[in-house]
Chain A
Amino acid sequence: MQALLEVLREDATLITVNRRLARAVINAHAERGIAAGDRTWRTPDVIPFAAWVERIWRQTDHAPGAALLRPAQERLLWEQVVGENAPAGEDEETPLEVAPAARQASRAYAIVNAWNISLDAREFDFSQESRVFRNWARGFEACCARDGWLDAGRAATALCDRRSFAEGTLRRRAVFAGFDIVTPQLEAIRNALSARGVDVTQPTPSRRKAVITRRGFDHPPTEIGAAAAWVRKTLRDAPTTRIGVVVPELHRMRAQVERVFDEYLVPGSALPDRAVEYRPFNLSFGQPVSRVPVVGDALLALKLGGARSELAAVGRLLRSPYLSGDKQAQFARAALDARLRDVGEPEISLRTLAARFGRSGLHDPGFEALPALRESAPRQQRLSAWAEFFSDWLGRLGWPGGRVLASEEFQAVEAFRGLLDELAGMGAVIGPVVFDRALALLLGLAEEHVFQPRAEPAPVQILGALETAGLSFDKIWITGLHDGSWPPSPEPNPLLPVTLQRRAGLPQASPEGQLELARLRLAGWLESADQVVLSYALSEKDEPLRPSSLITAIDLDQDEVASDSPAAAFGALLQSEAPSLEQFHDQRGPALAETRLTRGGAALIEDQSACPFRAFARWRLGARAVSIADSPLDDRVRGNLVHAILFKLWSEIQTHAALSSLTTEALRERVSSTVDEVLAQERRYRPETLRGMIAEAERERLCQLVESWLVLERKRSPFSVVAREEALETELGPLTLSIRPDRVDRLQSGDYFVLDYKTGRPQVKGWFGRRPDDPQLAVYTLVVEAGDEGREVAGAAYATLRRGGLGFAGLAASEGLVGGVTTLAASRVEASKTVADWKSLKNDWRETLDALAASFASGEARVDPKSPHSTCSHCQVKPLCRIFEQRANETAESGE
């Protein structure tokens, strides 16, 4: 670095291998200036190679010639070329994915240019891959020629000709820094510069004799932790030490490395609401801007403009902190998300979403305005118009929100603005497109654009293996030097003939080249600081590793850092300094206050019977989980549909006699129209599911099911339906509940019979005991009898409507009342042997239900599932009851 600053005089241009080095040189230059008392200076001309080529090109090109393609434009052009030239066979089973192929091709083309590989070489004929690539490349060149474009690679090649530099584009000296691979192209450019009389230099780093140590660790995380601890110790002793930490796998481990260094260098930085003013380290790796939440959410918002959006994505958007509105509005949107998930439609259209806002009384002007906006856009328009449209769209939603942006968010928003510029710029390559295509291009841009928040000057730099070129430090620690990755295995470009790549001298193309390069890099590190630590892990996951053979010759240092610094992790500190906890017993809530009506109905009783805590949590605390239903037409919904249909049918037909009088055709007709009506109603709630063929299939299914059910009912002895889902208020113990029995029939005898429609496999054995599994029919029975003095319910049964399982299942006072329903004595249900007859069963029920109701009213909230496995398995309040504490010692039952 020192050497670089020396050559950095006013008449020099410093061309760096990457942006990072340029940044570092400028900062170092500034630091030196400030230290020397300068307050203002001419910015030194330090520029990354690619930007330099572009600058020369733009400054030179005064006459209309080929225009330089921006990276995004170039990519798009490649995509078009590959898309057109991907020979799709007649019945091609697996077409090529164009976008990644285009990216690969453009990479190969860059190699061709930089390494001076001739597309005419006959080696291109040998394999399919290179033949295909050559076609693409030719197509690309033809395209450029036709439309007057030039790609960055060929623009650089053009600089190999000394005439390409216009007057005034060059300074007297050119310094190339950080290029540890010199391509033939670069070599030629330097020659051309020399020929123009420019003084070309490649500064030689000052050679230092470093203290070198080597350290092994059992796992990569330990290795990173040790490096961070070492950095902490170093900085504590000497706060201004310039330290480099190299992590070759940084692209994979970014989050982890950042976190560990945060933990060590800025302990407690994860705590909420604590602004970290300054972090003493920089991480060289950015991430796609699409992954920065503020931009990610903008993209989610734009995706709403497509035909349909995934519910999960819509949910994320609804919970985004980057939309307009105060807290109330944010909570309202979150609540809407919860409702949408309840419905369980996996996809939702913009229109439906907007309508939902209105229907649930949670108005949001932004969202509700979107459908109209979407319709106002022409089907096809130019990308610049779409960019404006997108901006408009986000504006309606109040993006980026009502919070004051943090610096990083602010920069990300600016980056997003840049993306829209790029998108508009892509319009130079293609004409008008539809919404989906424009959005896809924007998403692609956001995926490609690496966002790296502006690096503040800091003593510690954490870098990938390729980013250290030209940098120097006081101390450097290189991690990850195990034999699995160092030297790396060769990665010849698959689209170019390997022989040509090797002949051209591409280091990545051969093991020899990689070894050479690895040696070179290692040598560079050893010279880049006064103290060097080389480290490796001895295993990863459970695979054993060995130190790279390139470093095994170096002496092993035993005790550089204490194994674990006390500041290691704030959490571990909290854990180790834990106070003694206090024990408490909490199995009962306050008794229920006097209310006219308690929510919950029969379900409350069922819950109380299953587990008192569950009843308390659901009906007292209103605990509900948020989770997406497995299917938008799950058993619950389908059960409801059947209910609704039968409800409707019986309110018209009413009696057995009427049913019997219907002809088969008339019956079918009735059923069919009722099913249609009910489905139409339901469609309002599930517009995305109950459409097209699924709706048709469901209609078909329901018609058949209900029709065969009615045929079955026709075989019963005469009855009339007296009540259908009427809400009956009833007192059960101390509770007043509102109960809706599915159906009550009046039999010939004048007695009543209670029915409950089921679409699953209901079990009569769940009616018995102090804690019945299925108490609804018991509740219904008692409710019906309580409604009127002297009313007698003679039996209760499930009406099972399931394909392959139509029928009644229940118990009655005497045989032959309904379908196959028997007396207790005759029943095949084991448990019914324990009770004398129907009458005593009803008495038992009365006692049981009163007790359950009383227990609920008393505030009883024992965590006491009736049978831990089955009762708890689908219980949604599980996180709340803490049953898992009781089970901590048992291992969960699972298969092999």
Chain B
Amino acid sequence: MIRVAADDTHVRREALDVGRSFIVQAPAGSGKTELLIQRFLALLATVAFPEEVVAITFTRKATAEMRGRVLLALDAADRPPPADEHARRTYTLARAVIQRDQDRGWALRANPSRLRIHTIDGLCARLARQMPWLSRLAGDALPVEDAGEYYREAARRTLALLEEGAPFAPPVSALLAHLDNDLARFESMIETMLARRDQWLKVLSKGRPDEGNFRRELESALERTVNDSLEEVDAAIPGLLRQDLVAVGSYAGENLRLLEAENPVVRLAGITELPQPAHPQLDAWRALASLLLTQEGVPRKRLNKSVGIPADKSPHAVAMKDRAKALLAVLSGEQQFIAALGTVRDMPDPKYGDEQWAVLVALLEVLRFSSGLLRLVFAESGRVDFVELLSAARRALGDEETPTDLALSLDYRIAHILVDEFQDTSHSQFQLLNQLTAGWIPDDQRTLFLVGDPMQSIYRFREADVGVFLRAWHKGLRHVRLNRLALTANFRSTPGIIDWVNGTFPQVFPHADDESSGAVGYRPCASALGEDRGNAVALHALVDPGPDQAAQVVVECVKEALSKAPQESIAILVRSRTHLGRILERLDAGGIAHRGVELRPVLTTPAVHDLLSLTRALTHPADRVAWLAVLRAPWCGLLLADLAALAEAEPARCVPELLADPSLLPCLSPDGQKRLVRVAAVMLGAMAERGRKALRRQVEGVWQALGGPACVHRDAYDDALICLDLIEQMETESQVVDVDVLAHRLEALYATPVAGDARVEVMTIHKAKGLEFDTVIVPALERAPPPEGKRLLAWTQRAAGPTGTDLLLAPLPRDDLDEPPVYDFLNRAEESKRQLESARLLYVAATRARRRLHLVGSAARGAEAGTLRRPPPRSLLAHLWPAAQAEFLRAEAADNRIPAASRIQTDERPTGSWRLPSAWVLPQPAPPVGARPLFAAGPAEDASQPIIFEWAGFSVRQVGTVVHDRLRLIAEEGAERWSAARIRATAPWVRRALAAEGMSDAQLEDSVETVLDALTAVLTDPTGRWILSAGHQEAENELALSGVLDGRLVSVYIDRTFVDGDGVRWIVDYKSGRHEGASQDDFLDRERERYAPQLERYARLMANIEHRPISVGLYLPLLGGWRCWTPSLKERMD
């Protein structure tokens, strides 16, 4: 076993050197968060502004936690120093920060948002927003987590716009032909690609896809892949064998040349040295592989005639035969070489077939267009995805040769960057980091600090590639020299666990790191806890277990842990929640409280389905299934017989129509009638008020009125609320709720775990990352994830050169043509990465344990007695097999099956359904609270009949407004001071005012004339002159009055009011009505009738403040019309 030092204090101290950049390898339990915080503090104490130190975390939760811990450290600095050495270091660093804070007046603790701790997405958003022009991301679009619907929309539009955009028509038809004109597949292909456009947009920027150099670009990426593999084989050849390989190979090739010219081994004829490890020599390497390996990739048992080593009696032949034999003997021990050679044998020529290339070009052409559409879709909806944010940030940063000067563009310069969980970085994020550090020169007081554990890289599904870490580790960044530090001390697990991990994982992990294939070698660690080593890890090997046996074992483990140490935490970790099988049921049966994190999908709750149906019904009267489902749900519980009576004869009418049809009711059973009447009233009532409430409120209200909540348990009620909250959230996002989308999004929601202190936690391994438990149980080791379907596009990314990234692509071949090797090869490459990651997943699970680790797995007996079948290839157990096989064989021999009698029978499921009694009535809600106000605001709308909408007479209204305004002006000075000439002189102003309101040039001159004519006419009209005269008493224009009429607060503007010589108070309102034709008097009478209530209101208000007699008048300057009367001043009766 490998041993490393348990004391790595010097390494940790070095990591706090604020003058240098580091990459730190921090295995599980090594306390890396504390180290990160210490360095963060150390850096803060050196900078001018706290914002200059930027920390990047993996999740928002981690961001909040880190911020919390930094603040905690700062708070603790006020207290006396702690005794513990680690804690004291943090303490000292925090004190220095406090000092700095005081010197510089940062007020950090009052203003903690000054701490720049972000997720990478948060950082991108910040960068992009601060440089809207460079990033081309103006405005404040909201980032969305799951942008699938936007990709779909962009894909859909790509198809929809087909006809209109001729330029990309040819590639689209090529692609459609390739996909057998399957539009759904076309769309889904585009969708997948859009989600990862950060990767290929860069490829596209290298030229037009249909140009030659573009093909060279992509093919040379393939070539580099081949070269790398060949170099790997070459390096793995044991020195002893080199000569033998040449000799035997050449001999075999010569022999076959005449007999079997097609045999690939012929290629070796006459070689004098091993082929160069470069792609032109690929066929020679393949020949070597077929010489030595069988079809299955294992070394041949013997080399014979079929590969060119005949059993001749000639001395030469005998000698060669012996040499070949010796070669095989050595070979069998060289696992690494065999594996490497095996991959070479399946390696394709680094070229695209023409058909494949044509499709790829077409695809990329289409994509260029779709990504433009996607931007449009985002712009319309005010959203962006994280890919867009990342690309925007990268755009803003400029290329690495001429980077943007961030010091001038950002509010604070970035002096130090710390990155946590660096092993889960994607290629694009890595490029971002390169850009961020592009202007850096050595020793310029700027540093980078990358921390991570390549052995815990498990986020490939988020585009993470552990190769990025490996590359940074081995080669550094383009502009930053990184010092390597490796932590070895583990503060989490007991020596017993660590010994097991150190002993087991070297067999599980690959021998060495490899950037491009994502292979991570094992890095040992040492426990810093000095406790016992005994009995820490138990492997529960089950052979052909009964249906409940594994679950039972798990429960036993839990029970044991519960009884042994009542204070300790316990976790059950699975790869996927479906692997839990019956464990939860058994825990329940055993009365063991447990807390599941995201375990139970809300869609397992019937009430949620019922709510969905209700939502569908309320939003679509013609959704028959939904409406019938509403009638069959527990709140109604109509029997099939009654449903048939209602619906059978009318398959075409909408169900709500049937509900409203009184003639159908008598066909139902008496009980059914009672039920239907109650439910129909609620549903039809809800239909009548569609649009008036937010959908969530509407659905919830109907659900309540139907008695939905009365039909469910507390848990189901909570799940229903989750569904309702989602509706509300969707409404907030986009107002309209598509129920199909709602249903889709519900699939991703889980019941909230019950509060309370369950000691047993159940979660996925991914969720457990970063957590620790005293006892960890990992069941279902033998379960494998479901196989992936054929991808439309094979796809892999690999590190290339010091900082570059190669993207390798191959489209799914046509269903009637042979599979081209590149597609296959890329799929295999991905599969191997996936395998490597699942080994790491096992490592993550195992290293969560502090004291005790239980591994539970089962194997099946083989055909022959005493043998076992290999575990499914993609299971965790397959990885553990080298270390676990012996245990399983022991179990097989012992046959520790639990006797059938002790197995618990599966319980009978209840049949039948439940429904609300038909006598149920809705209880009264509690009364509302709060006093009614003294008055209501604003006028009452006429609520007696529907309104007819009309918007017209724009220019007439504009003219009216201007005339109105002029009348005020004239009245202010008095008509006496105005002449026709003076009115004429205001023509420019009038024109200006009309034009500013958007009146067209064509109408402008006419309208100006109308205004001026009207005003001139007013001046010559005796009534007009009288109204506007300066000679009245107590005259006012636009008098603003308020008061309460009929319980409403009214505020009015009175155009003109005055007291005439007889002491009568006049209230005049100007109206801009115009009327062509004869019966002008009728028109005026109608106007009077129309506006009488309004003037009546004015008069009533006025009568409240003075006791003069009141007359009201309507003046229509455009007509010179006038109507006046004495108002009745009566209260409105209603």
Q: Would you give the 0/1 interface string for B978-1006, flagging 1 where the beta carbon is closer than 8 Å to chain A? A: 00000000101101110111111000000
Contact B134 A128 (CB under 8 A): yes
Interface centre among A574, A582, A887 (most CB of B within 10 A): A574
Q: Which of A421-429, A665-673, A714-722 contacts B (4 or more CB under 8 A)?
A: A421-429
Residues 376 to 410 of chain A near chain B (Cβ within 8 Å): 382-385, 387-388, 390-391, 394-395, 399-410
Contact B575 A575 (CB under 8 A): no
CB distance from A307 to the nearest CB of B (A): 8
Q: How far is the CA of A365 from the CA of B621 in the complex (A)?
A: 21
Contact B181 A701 (CB under 8 A): yes
Closest to A133 in B: B133
Q: How far is the CA of A428 from the CA of B732 in the complex (A)?
A: 35
* Given A129-B409, A628-B740: A511 touches B577 (CB 8 Å cut-off): no
Task: Say yes or no: is A435 at the interface (Cβ < 8 Å to chain B).
Answer: no
Q: How far is the CA of A593 from the CA of B1043 in the complex (A)?
A: 72
B-side contacts of A489, CB under 8 Å: 113-114
Task: Say yes or no: is B1089 at the interface (Cβ < 8 Å to chain A).
Answer: no
Contact B1041 A43 (CB under 8 A): yes
Contact B180 A583 (CB under 8 A): no
Q: How far is the CA of A93 from the CA of B917 in the complex (A)?
A: 65
A-side contacts of B1049, CB under 8 Å: 27, 30, 457
Closest to B945 in A: A404
CB distance from B42 to the nearest CB of A (A): 22
B-side contacts of A847, CB under 8 Å: none
Task: Say yes or no: is B139 at the interface (Cβ < 8 Å to chain A).
Answer: yes
B-side contacts of A347, CB under 8 Å: 160
Q: Would you give the 0/1 interface string for A698-738, flagging 1 where the beta carbon is closer than 8 Å to chain B? A: 10110000000000000000000000000000000000000
Task: Say yes or no: is B800 at the interface (Cβ < 8 Å to chain A).
Answer: no
Contact B946 A515 (CB under 8 A): no
Contact B995 A494 (CB under 8 A): no
Q: Would you give the 0/1 interface string for B931-975, flagging 1 where the beta carbon is closer than 8 Å to chain A? A: 111111110010111111111101100000000000001001000
B-side contacts of A407, CB under 8 Å: 941, 943
Contact A272 B930 (CB under 8 A): no
Task: Say yes or no: is A765 at the interface (Cβ < 8 Å to chain B).
Answer: no
Task: Say yes or no: is A808 at the interface (Cβ < 8 Å to chain B).
Answer: no
Q: How far is the CA of A893 from the CA of B785 in the complex (A)?
A: 11
Task: Say yes or no: is B697 at the interface (Cβ < 8 Å to chain A).
Answer: yes
Task: Say yes or no: is A664 at the interface (Cβ < 8 Å to chain B).
Answer: no
Partner of A255, one of B405, B690, B694: B694
Contact A30 B1042 (CB under 8 A): yes
Closest to B919 in A: A579
Contact B1043 A41 (CB under 8 A): yes
Partner of B131, one of A94, A129, A262, A428: A129
Task: Say yes or no: is A597 at the interface (Cβ < 8 Å to chain B).
Answer: no
Closest to B176 in A: A697
Contact A40 B917 (CB under 8 A): no
CB distance from B1007 to the nearest CB of A (A): 12
Residues 587 to 615 of chain B near chain A (Cβ within 8 Å): 599-601, 603-606, 609, 612-613
* Given A267-B928, A280-B929, A427-B1000: A621 touches B1101 (CB 8 Å cut-off): no
Contact A100 B176 (CB under 8 A): no
* Given A589-B640, A892-B604: A512 touches B624 (CB 8 Å cut-off): no
Partner of B625, one of A42, A494, A549, A625: A625
Task: Say yes or no: is B404 at the interface (Cβ < 8 Å to chain A).
Answer: yes
Partner of A400, one of B708, B915, B949, B995: B949
Task: Say yes or no: is A198 at the interface (Cβ < 8 Å to chain B).
Answer: no
Contact B1105 A620 (CB under 8 A): no
B-side contacts of A410, CB under 8 Å: 941, 943, 947
Contact B816 A511 (CB under 8 A): no
The size of the chain A interface, using a CB distance under 8 A, is 219
Task: Say yes or no: is B94 at the interface (Cβ < 8 Å to chain A).
Answer: no
Partner of B732, one of A254, A403, A589: A254
B-side contacts of A543, CB under 8 Å: 60-61, 63-65
Contact A514 B111 (CB under 8 A): yes
Task: Say yes or no: is A655 at the interface (Cβ < 8 Å to chain B).
Answer: no
* Given A693-B162, A884-B606: A578 touches B710 (CB 8 Å cut-off): yes
Task: Say yes or no: is B71 at the interface (Cβ < 8 Å to chain A).
Answer: yes
Contact B110 A896 (CB under 8 A): no
B-side contacts of A490, CB under 8 Å: 411
Task: Say yes or no: is B793 at the interface (Cβ < 8 Å to chain A).
Answer: no
Q: Would you give the 0/1 interface string for A26-47, flagging 1 where the beta carbon is closer than 8 Å to chain B? A: 1100110011001111110100
Q: Would you give the 0/1 interface string for A104-139, flagging 1 where the beta carbon is closer than 8 Å to chain B? A: 100000000000000000000011110011000000
Q: Would you give the 0/1 interface string for B703-719, flagging 1 where the beta carbon is closer than 8 Å to chain A? A: 11101111110100100
Contact B176 A694 (CB under 8 A): yes
Q: Would you give the 0/1 interface string for A481-512, flagging 1 where the beta carbon is closer than 8 Å to chain B? A: 00110011110101100100000000001011
Closest to A545 in B: B64
* Given A543-B61, A627-B740, A693-B162: A395 touches B992 (CB 8 Å cut-off): no
Partner of A579, one of B71, B735, B920: B920
CB distance from A445 to the nearest CB of B (A): 13
Contact B622 A626 (CB under 8 A): yes
Contact A104 B132 (CB under 8 A): yes
Closest to A332 in B: B654
Partner of B689, one of A273, A546, A577, A696: A273
Q: How far is the CA of A450 from the CA of B136 in the complex (A)?
A: 27
B-side contacts of A203, CB under 8 Å: none
Closest to B375 in A: A94
Contact A129 B134 (CB under 8 A): yes
Task: Say yes or no: is A570 at the interface (Cβ < 8 Å to chain B).
Answer: yes
Task: Say yes or no: is A64 at the interface (Cβ < 8 Å to chain B).
Answer: yes
Interface centre among B379, B643, B693 (most CB of A within 10 A): B643
Partner of A64, one of B183, B648, B817, B992: B992
Contact A582 B625 (CB under 8 A): no
Q: Would you give the 0/1 interface string for B630-645, flagging 1 where the beta carbon is closer than 8 Å to chain A? A: 0010100101110111
Interface centre among B132, B625, B721 (most CB of A within 10 A): B625
Task: Say yes or no: is A151 at the interface (Cβ < 8 Å to chain B).
Answer: no
CB distance from A889 to the nearest CB of B (A): 7
Interface centre among B632, B637, B639, B928 (most CB of A within 10 A): B928
Residues 561 to 579 of chain A near chain B (Cβ within 8 Å): 566-567, 570-575, 577-579
B-side contacts of A877, CB under 8 Å: 625
B-side contacts of A406, CB under 8 Å: 692
Q: How far is the CA of A789 from the CA of B992 in the complex (A)?
A: 95
Q: Which of B316-324, B345-353, B905-913 contacts A (4 or more CB under 8 A)?
A: B905-913
Task: Say yes or no: is A354 at the interface (Cβ < 8 Å to chain B).
Answer: no
Contact B64 A484 (CB under 8 A): yes
Contact B625 A624 (CB under 8 A): yes
Interface centre among A571, A620, A803 (most CB of B within 10 A): A571
Task: Say yes or no: is B14 at the interface (Cβ < 8 Å to chain A).
Answer: no
Partner of A405, one of B637, B701, B721, B941: B941
Contact B132 A494 (CB under 8 A): yes
Contact A400 B911 (CB under 8 A): no
Task: Say yes or no: is B444 at the interface (Cβ < 8 Å to chain A).
Answer: no
Contact B696 A888 (CB under 8 A): no
Closest to B927 in A: A267
Q: How far is the CA of A34 from the CA of B162 in the complex (A)?
A: 67
Closest to A622 in B: B651
Partner of A494, one of B129, B626, B935: B129
29 of the cross-chain contacts (CB-CB < 8 Å) are A27-B937, A104-B132, A127-B405, A235-B929, A267-B928, A296-B736, A331-B621, A331-B622, A391-B949, A406-B692, A417-B949, A428-B996, A456-B937, A483-B71, A543-B63, A577-B710, A577-B923, A617-B628, A622-B650, A627-B740, A631-B187, A692-B163, A694-B162, A696-B173, A697-B181, A701-B180, A879-B626, A884-B606, A895-B576
Q: Assuming A382-B998, A404-B945, A455-B937, what are 20 further A-B pairs, CB within 8 angstroms?
A: A41-B1043, A104-B139, A331-B657, A337-B622, A400-B946, A402-B946, A410-B947, A426-B998, A454-B937, A487-B113, A488-B113, A511-B107, A570-B926, A574-B708, A581-B915, A581-B916, A803-B814, A879-B616, A882-B632, A882-B913
Complex A-B, nearest 4 residue pairs according to Cβ-Cβ distance, in ascending order: A100-B139, A280-B930, A268-B925, A622-B651
